[in-house]
Amino acid sequence: MKEWISAQRVNFKRIDCPKLERVDLPDGATGDVSDFLNDDQMGQLRCLISKGPQIRDVPLLHQLKTLHIKMNAPLTTRFPLPPNVIELKVWQRHPVEGIPPQIEIFECGGLPHEHEPSFDVDIRSEKLRSFKIDYASNVNINCPKLTNLELRHVMVLGNFIELDYVSNYGVYP
Per this entry, what is the length of the chain?
173
For the segment 31-65, what is each residue's pLDDT rounded down to a tens digit?
888 888 999 999 999 999 988 888 888 888 999 99
**143 touches 160 (CB < 8 A):** no
For the segment 10-30, what is each residue's pLDDT rounded down to a tens digit?
677 888 888 889 988 877 778
**117 touches 135 (CB < 8 A):** yes
- The three-state secondary structure class of 72 is coil
For the segment 135-166, what is each residue's pLDDT rounded down to a tens digit?
787 888 899 899 888 888 776 667 665 555 44
pLDDT of 99: 97
pLDDT at residue 118 is higher than 80: no
pLDDT of 7: 52
Amino acid at 101: P
Confidence (pTM): 0.83
User: How far apart are alpha carbons 135 and 98 in whole angstroms?
Assistant: 17
pLDDT at residue 127 is higher than 50: yes
pLDDT of 100: 97
User: How far apart are alpha carbons 159 and 83 in whole angstroms?
Assistant: 30
Rounded to an integer, the average pLDDT of 65-86 is 93
